[in-house]
Structure 1
Amino acid sequence: MIELIQETIATIVPTLEQWLGGPVDWKQIILIGLAPVFIATFLVEWWLMRRRKQDAHFKGKDILTNLNLGGAYQVFELLVHALFFMAAMHWVYDQRVFNVPVNIWTIVPLFVLLEFCYYVFHRSSHRVRWFWCAHVVHHSGEHMNLSTAMRQSMLYSLTGYWLFFTPLMLIGVSPEITLAMYAVDLAYQYFVHTESVRKLPAWYEYVFVTPSHHRVHHARNPQYIDKNYGGVLIIFDRLFGTFAPEEEPVEYGIVRQVHSHNILTLNFHEFIDMVRDMAKPGPLLQRLKHLWAPPEWQRANPDAPPSDRQAPI
């Protein structure tokens, strides 16, 4: 089966590269191809929750905003990532130290490695402000339904998400295969953005990311913030102490909530706030620290009384 997929990709890649004018971003190709499945599943979810009279999280403006953000993300990724950053990925791949075959024996270990790379990327997207500038878009929604998964940022490529997956390319996995596996990871995540499923069997909840886990991840309740980073597997959260079970009801959104349906505001508000923080007077290193410090970090005000100063994190 794996060999058949590889042969199919090898057959159609040259045609797509010629049509697109550059290397193919299989992540976007696969996700766009799955769009009808995503939309159909969302409609089923909406119908089911209406029958249960539990459709409070289905707000027309929010759903339209999610769709607009998802569409803008897809277009931007195709135009910018596929034409520019795929070339950078191929440069990294040219520096590989091995040639890892992708077959029935290696695909599962490689996917687990990709999931670990995703865990590191996702955790960094919450704890490093530069990456949070992109990821904050996904968390700014105050309602949870499958359309929330489409709430994505146009800035992901520019902030460098793909750098976290370069270890696979360095060991000899091509960018096309890496991004195809990442697409599978993201496709799975679409289905955990829901209130319609409460708990799954205990063994599944222990190993895999579930809707319950991901509701926690989207919460702004203090005990839930920065928990459950896994995409498909929850095991790395359990290993590294970032797991939290769903106990009390979830309040969705971000701490500094942005009440807007304008996709430009949603895409750029945190980046603008970060630049403004960097522009404030002070030592250069402290100003630059806003790039890599956690999103909540603020410089101490040297003119304020000691009790009013916020200690750096």
Structure 2
Amino acid sequence: MPEGTIFGAPEISNEQIVELSKTAPNLIVWAVPVMLLLTGLEMWFSHHNDHDHYSKDETIGSTLVGLGSLVVSAALKFGLIYLTVLVYNLVPWRMELNWWTLIPCYIIYDLASYWAHRVSHESRLFWATHVVHHSAEHYNLTVSYRLSWIQHIKVIFFMPVMLFGFHPVIFFVTNQLATLFQFLQHTEYIRRLHPVLEYIFATPSNHRVHHGSQEKYIDKNFGATFIFWDRIFNTYTPEEEQVIYGITTNIDKKANPLHINFHELNDIVSDVRQSKNLKEAWMYTFGSPITVYNLKIKAAHEAQQRELEVYS
């Protein structure tokens, strides 16, 4: 390889994959003690100042979901590294391991994250992998723990990033940095920042909007790190009125991690079984959650009307 070039790096062998899986930095695990400390401080501050930012059941649920997510991620780590290396070896423009490639990788990764996030709100099947994160009715740092145990199916949205030829270590560090950046978004205690920062980044203020259940806030501010994607694709809304957190139909069993993770999938299966035809079954599976919600409200109203007609 000519000196000074970055492309055309050698392929990674199967033996190197095993070593890579052992030595790849696990930033999220290292950050867990700091995250727990900050969560504990926020929890104490909320209780000490009589702020209603935490509830017992939701905190238990968030913690159990977060622990399960760590276990699932650890179990899938080798498979995801293998997939990344497989794609890396396929492209002839493979990049060497070089720290500065983290910058373009992060920007491209964040664009892919925007679309993965947006599709997760626009298609019910993918919403089932994301609703976990929105099901809390209180907004605090533990909400960042609420990562679906089946969210890894969304790796398909990040394969175009792999095709750019970034070194697998760069890709995985980018993934972890992006996840860690979102931790501090989930708090009421960081209010609006400088206008320049609010214009560029997905700040806590911008992200609170995303968790809102009011009509004006639904399906807005999808950006993970950079909010300018929402400005470009016309999905941006500023924080104006107090946000009401949760989803349009809030869940029960708030401390049960299995219910938190799989209630939407269970509802999809139930709706498909009761659907009248293939078109309706398709809508219940892949339609937008808002469309499905309105369809179910309409069906319930029609059923009520028929019942009234029977008894009238």
With normalisation by structure 2, the TM-score equals 0.82
> Distance between the aligned counterparts of 2:126 and 2:275, measured in 1?
23
> Distance between the aligned counterparts of 2:89 and 2:54, measured in 1?
47
Q: 1:91 corresponds to which residue? A: 86
Superposed CA RMSD: 2.7
> Distance between the aligned counterparts of 2:205 and 2:23, measured in 1?
31
In the alignment, is residue 37 of structure 1 matched against residue 34 of structure 2? yes
Q: 1:292 corresponds to which residue? A: 286
Is the CA contact (8 Å cut-off) linking 2:113 and 2:157 kept in structure 1? yes
- The one-letter code matched in structure 2 to 1:131 is F
- Give the direction of change, closer, same or farther, for the CA distance of 1:293–1:26 in structure 2 (3 Å limit): farther
> 1:124 is paired with a residue of what secondary structure?
helix
Q: 2:3 corresponds to which residue? A: none
Is the CA contact (8 Å cut-off) linking 2:115 and 2:157 kept in structure 1? yes
- Give the direction of change, closer, same or farther, for the CA distance of 1:104–1:23 in structure 2 (3 Å limit): closer
- Give the direction of change, closer, same or farther, for the CA distance of 1:23–1:104 in structure 2 (3 Å limit): closer
Describe the superposition over 1:27-83 as per-residue Cα deviations: whole angstroms up to 9, x where unpaired.
8x22111100101111222344445x252112222212111110011101211x224
- The one-letter code matched in structure 2 to 1:264 is L
Is the CA contact (8 Å cut-off) linking 1:165 and 1:178 kept in structure 2? no
Give the alignment partner of residue 148 of structure 2, picking from 153, 160, 164: 153
Give the alignment partner of residue 215 of structure 2, picking from 208, 215, 222: 222
- Give the direction of change, closer, same or farther, for the CA distance of 1:26–1:155 in structure 2 (3 Å limit): farther
1:148 Cα shift? 1.1
> 1:144 is paired with a residue of what secondary structure?
coil
Describe the superposition over 1:188-247 as per-residue Cα deviations: whole angstroms up to 9, x where unpaired.
100010001111111111111111111111110110011111111101011111111111
1:105 Cα shift? 4.5
Describe the superposition over 1:241-294 as per-residue Cα deviations: whole angstroms up to 9, x where unpaired.
111111111100000110222111111110111122222344334423433221
Is the CA contact (8 Å cut-off) linking 1:25 and 1:86 kept in structure 2? no
Q: What's the % identity of the aligned pairs?
A: 31
How many aligned positions are there?
A: 285
Gaps of 5+ in 1: 1-13, 309-313
Is the CA contact (8 Å cut-off) linking 2:27 and 2:176 kept in structure 1? yes
Describe the superposition over 1:117-149 as per-residue Cα deviations: whole angstroms up to 9, x where unpaired.
110111111111111101000100000111111
Q: 2:237 corresponds to which residue? A: 244
Between Structure 1 and Structure 2, whose CA radius of gyration is higher?
Answer: 2
> Distance between the aligned counterparts of 1:15 and 1:127, measured in 2?
39
> Distance between the aligned counterparts of 2:24 and 2:185, measured in 1?
22
After TM superposition, list the pairs within 5 Å mapping 1:101-140 onto structure 2. Answer: 101=96, 103=98, 105-140=100-135
1:24 Cα shift? 5.9
With normalisation by structure 1, the TM-score equals 0.82
Is the CA contact (8 Å cut-off) linking 1:96 and 1:169 kept in structure 2? no
> Distance between the aligned counterparts of 1:185 and 1:104, measured in 2?
16
In the alignment, is residue 184 of structure 1 matched against residue 177 of structure 2? yes
- Give the direction of change, closer, same or farther, for the CA distance of 1:281–1:148 in structure 2 (3 Å limit): closer
